């Protein structure tokens, strides 16, 4: 998912200094901030302060030094939200009445994204029928008003009109973005990593899976608002998103037990783990000593977790598998898709450079149960995770239509 882009409009008010704190909080929340200041705002706080904090050029007028202009239409269209904080009585009056005599008001007028306005002014200015009329007009136009708070004002008066606290302003924006997230309310179980099948207390049979792909999926799904349960095989990697719940498992049997438990309550199951197909018939309780003769380990089959989930799949559940192949890739993947009763399968071929175990990149083809194939370019595992989740979101949307 792309980072959110917010236009922070700063108008002339003594509380303009708080726009520095707002900028810092937005940046801390991984939001790209484009500050637009009115001429009067620049008298209260310098563009240099806000450009340093936002790590972005601050725009103050339509024209640029090199004869170009700041395209207000593009600025408005590309933003996910506009936040005007502080919004002076004058700026509120202008935008409520469609005036656009500066860059900020012109961007407001050409924007399609949600707009948040945090007024700041003297108590009597705030209560004036003209301001209240303008606020009502803005609300009718769909603008989210972040009401001013009560307290001591710059005029020395005490009353309502003080800019809401920066934390509250940014919080309202975050709640809004949170509610907008496409996977909000969705429970997703993801398996990731290798499995280790023990031979004795010190040895195991494992594979080269790092768990990177499954962990990227878990982090990405959480970022899109999902309630994620990760069933993670033995790897030193961990998800970055703190909301991802992790159950660590070691063996295929451990992964089976955890997966069956969580799958029951999950809307989607994404099985990205490289599960061992075989496990030693017997596990020695003590370390096996070296002998002169050859050493053979008898192996028995493990349960195919994904196939097991395919048998008990509920009507609204989406089941997504992976196939890592070296030859006859599409044919093998299609067979797995049918055999395991999947909605779609993510195929990666070891023939593709940069795909598969250990790499930070992957190159996938998605095949759905209707037989349609969608190949993707080589991308970072993070971007691949985004593609897979986007594919699932769109599939579910078209199926519900
Ligand atoms: N899988 C699983 N449990 C297993 C084996 C595989 O859940 N015991 C899942 C994997 O997580 C993956 C898919 O099944 O999503 C395909 O795994 P893969 O190892 O490619 O296929 P297998 O069915 O094991 O077939 P083969 O090893 O012969 O290619």
Share of the chain above pLDDT 70, in %: 98
Q: Is the pLDDT of residue 91 over 90?
A: yes
Residue of 304, 320, 328, 338 to mutate, ligand 1, most atoms within 8 A of C-beta = 304
Share of the chain above pLDDT 90, in %: 86
Query: Where do the domains of the chain lie?
Result: 4-179, 187-282+295-400
**Of the given ranges (105-114, 146-155, 260-269, 306-315), which has the lowest mean pLDDT?**
146-155
**Of the given ranges (18-22, 32-36, 45-49, 352-356), which has the lowest mean pLDDT?**
352-356
Which DSSP string do the residues of 89-140 spell out, in sequence order? HHHHHHHHTT---SHHHHHHHH--S-EEEEE---HHHHHSHHHHHHHHHHHH
Cis peptide before 86, with omega less than 30 degrees from 0? Answer: yes
Q: Write down the pLDDT at residue 173.
A: 95
CA proximity to 147, closest of 114, 118, 115, 176: 118
Look up residue 194 and give its DSSP letter.
B
Report the pLDDT averaged over residues 15-22. 97
Q: Is the pLDDT of residue 70 over 80?
A: no
Determine if ligand 1 sits within 6 Å of the CB of residue 306: yes
Which DSSP string do the residues of 2-25 spell out, in sequence order? PPPEEEEEE-SSGGGGHHHHHHHH
Determine if ligand 1 sits within 6 Å of the CB of residue 256: no
Please write the tens of the pLDDT for every residue from 256-295. 999 999 999 999 999 999 999 999 999 999 999 999 999 9
Residue nearest to atom 20 of ligand 1 (CA): 323
For residue 207, indicate whether it is catalytic. yes
Strand duo 197-200 + 203-205: pairing: antiparallel
Residues 273, 233 contacting (CB under 8 angstroms): yes
Q: Write down the pLDDT at residue 259.
A: 98
**Active-site hit among 29, 70, 78, 207:** 207
Residues 229, 188 contacting (CB under 8 angstroms): yes
CA proximity to 23, closest of 43, 6, 44: 6
Nearest 5 degrees, angle CA 217-CA 218-CA 224? 85
Assign 159 a pLDDT band (cuts: 50, 70, 90).
Answer: confident
Assign 65 a pLDDT band (cuts: 50, 70, 90).
Answer: low
Q: Write down the pLDDT at residue 1.
A: 56
How many residues are given for the chain?
Answer: 401
Tell me how far the alpha carbon of residue 323 lies from the centroid of ligand 1, in angstroms: 7
Query: Alpha-carbon distance 220 to 362, whole Å?
Result: 15
- Domains 4-179 and 187-282+295-400 equal at CATH topology level: yes
Domain range 187-282+295-400, CATH architecture: 3-Layer(aba) Sandwich (3.40)
Determine if ligand 1 sits within 6 Å of the CB of residue 347: no
Q: Is the pLDDT of residue 72 over 90?
A: no
Query: Alpha-carbon distance 244 to 53, whole Å?
Result: 30
Determine if ligand 1 sits within 6 Å of the CB of residue 324: yes
Query: Where does 4-179 sit in CATH, by number?
Result: 3.40.50.1950
Report the pLDDT averaged over residues 346-354. 85
> What is the maximum alpha-carbon separation in the chain?
97
């Amino acid at each position: 998912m792309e980072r959110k882009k917010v236009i922070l409009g700063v108008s002339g008010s003594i509380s303009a200094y708080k726009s520095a704190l707002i900028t810092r909080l937005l940046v801390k929340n991984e939001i790209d901030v484009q500050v637009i200041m009115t001429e009067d705002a620049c008298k209260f706080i310098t563009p240099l302060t806000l450009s340093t904090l936002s790590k972005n050029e601050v725009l103050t007028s339509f024209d640029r030094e090199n004869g170009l202009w700041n395209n207000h239409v593009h600025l408005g269209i590309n933003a996910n939200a506009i936040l005007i904080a502080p919004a002076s009585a004058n700026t509120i009056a202008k935008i409520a009445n469609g005036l656009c005599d500066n860059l900020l008001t012109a961007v407001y007028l050409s924007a399609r994204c949600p707009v948040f306005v945090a007024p700041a002014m003297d108590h009597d200015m705030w209560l004036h029928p003209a301001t209240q009329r303008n606020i009502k007009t803005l609300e009718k136009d769909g603008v989210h008003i972040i009401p001013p708070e009560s307290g001591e004002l710059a005029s020395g008066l005490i009353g309502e009109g003080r800019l809401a606290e920066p934390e509250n302003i940014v919080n309202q924006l975050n709640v809004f973005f949170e509610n907008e997230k496409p996977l909000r309310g969705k429970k997703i179980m993801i398996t990731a990593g290798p499995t280790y099948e023990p031979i004795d207390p010190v040895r195991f049979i494992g594979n080269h899976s790092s768990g990177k792909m499954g962990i990227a999926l878990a982090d990405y799904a959480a970022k899109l608002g999902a309630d994620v349960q990760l069933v993670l095989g033995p790897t030193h990697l961990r998800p970055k998103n703190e909301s991802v719940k992790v159950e660590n498992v070691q063996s295929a049997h451990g992964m089976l037990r955890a997966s069956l438990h969580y799958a029951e309550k999950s809307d989607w199951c994404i099985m990205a783990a490289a599960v061992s197909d075989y496990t030693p018939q017997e596990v020695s309780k003590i370390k096996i000593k070296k002998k002169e003769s050859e050493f053979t380990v008898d192996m028995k089959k493990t349960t195919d977790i994904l196939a097991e989930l395919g048998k008990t799949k509920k009507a609204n559940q989406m089941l997504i598998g992976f196939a890592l192949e070296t030859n006859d890739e599409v044919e093998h993947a299609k067979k797995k898709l049918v055999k395991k009763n999947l909605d779609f399968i993510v195929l990666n071929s070891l023939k593709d450079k940069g795909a598969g175990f250990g790499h930070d990149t992957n190159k996938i083809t998605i095949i759905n149960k209707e037989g349609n194939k969608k190949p993707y370019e080589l991308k970072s595992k993070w971007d691949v995770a985004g593609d897979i989740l986007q594919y699932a979101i769109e599939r579910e949307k078209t199926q519900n239509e």
